Amino acid sequence: MSRTPADGRSEGLERWRGRVALVTGASAGIGRAVAVRLARAGLRVVGWGRQIEALEALAAALADHDFAWRRVELRDVEAIRAAVAATVASHGGVDVLVNGAGIGFDAPMVGGDPEAWREILDVNVLALALCTSLAVEDMRRRETEDTRAPGHVIHISSMSGHRVPRGNAMYAASKYAVRAMTEGLRGELRGLGSRIRVTAISPGNVATGFAQRFLGDAFVPPPYPRLEAEDVADAVAHVLGAPDRVAYHDLLVRPAEQPT
């Protein structure tokens, strides 16, 4: 969707052209699709992940665009700090942060493995919180002297932040935490008089490697067409392109036929 400024609305993604987007989880699935969408729209994208071959392949696919990647282990707090600092140094700052990385072990309450619980919380909650905090610090530093669109933080959350699927309590707990952090950050930013926006996007079932990665052979595809990662990337593009006066807070995006 592209609108002209003359009608008092925004220019969609156009106004972010040349700005810097940091995308975590860019090596696969939704994060990868978001990195592609934003790079093709003219943003300068820095993609983080761990699978070097996947990141190199993405860089090759985006060879005609402004794309850089970095290997970052999100369970390592110091690695996150160093990687944000390096991104600010190399690109001048972070204008858009898309927290696309996430994990979803089958980690039930009864008989669940505390190490799996910890890993879910480390990646889905603590790493997301730290990436957000550091990026917002940088956005705030530049906000007063830069009259362009203020920064935007987008969390790829989940429908599991809105209801609890059986057997996935800790994953759902992590996504409920994302929901709380979205509301909390919004409140803090408004209290600070900042124009930085924060949005959660909560997809239902998406056809990425996510479920197989954690369920292995136990994974059974649902009997309805799942969302494509690109559908979620479209939602990211839509919220980023909204006029400054509009703050999408939490966008629930289900496959049309998903029952829950």
Give the C-alpha distances (Å, rounded to integers) separating 202 from 4, 17, 232, 235, 249. 29, 25, 9, 10, 10
Please check whether residue 171 is in contact with residue 104, taking contact to mean a CB–CB distance below 8 angstroms. Answer: yes
Part in contact with ligand NAP (CB under 6 A); list of ranges 67-75, 84-92, 106-114, 184-192: 67-75
Pattern 68-87, binding to ligand NAP, x per CB under 6 A?
A: ----xxxx------------
Integer Cα distance of 174 and 245 in angstroms: 29
Residue among 171, 176, 224, 248 flagged as catalytic: 171
Q: Which residue is nearest to ligand NAP (CB)?
A: 102
**Using the rule CB under 6 A, is 206 a contact of ligand NAP?**
yes
Closer CB to ligand NAP, 73 or 234, in the complex: 73
Terminal Cα distance for the chain, rounded: 29
Alpha-carbon Rg for the chain, nearest whole angstrom, is: 18
Find the DSSP H helices in 62-126: 77-91, 114-121
**Using the rule CB under 6 A, is 103 a contact of ligand NAP?**
yes
Q: Extract the tokens encoding 185.
A: 């950050």
Closer CB to ligand NAP, 92 or 209, in the complex: 209
Please check whether residue 57 is in contact with residue 79, taking contact to mean a CB–CB distance below 8 angstroms. Answer: no
Among 209, 224, 244, 257, binds ligand NAP (CB under 6 A): 209
**Using the rule CB under 6 A, is 101 a contact of ligand NAP?**
yes
Q: Residue 105: name the closest of 114, 116, 89 by CA.
A: 116
**Using the rule CB under 6 A, is 30 a contact of ligand NAP?**
yes
- Please indicate whether residue 171 is annotated as part of the active site: yes
Q: How many residues of this chain bind ligand NAP (CB under 6 A)?
A: 29
Extended beta strands in 64-220, E state: 67-71, 96-99, 152-156, 197-203
Tell me the closest approach of the beta carbon of residue 259 to ligand NAP, in angstroms: 15
Pattern 156-195, binding to ligand NAP, x per CB under 6 A?
A: x-x-------------------------------------
Closer CB to ligand NAP, 101 or 139, in the complex: 101
Integer Cα distance of 132 and 57 in angstroms: 27
**Using the rule CB under 6 A, is 22 a contact of ligand NAP?**
no
Closer CB to ligand NAP, 132 or 205, in the complex: 205
| Residue 209: Cβ within 10 Å count | 11
Question: What residues pair up with 252 in beta bridges, in sequence order?
Answer: 202
Q: Largest Cα–Cα distance of the chain, in whole Å?
A: 60
Q: What residue ranges bind ligand NAP (CB under 6 A)?
A: 25, 27-31, 49-51, 72-75, 100-104, 123, 156, 158, 203, 205-206, 208-211, 213
Residues known to be catalytic:
171
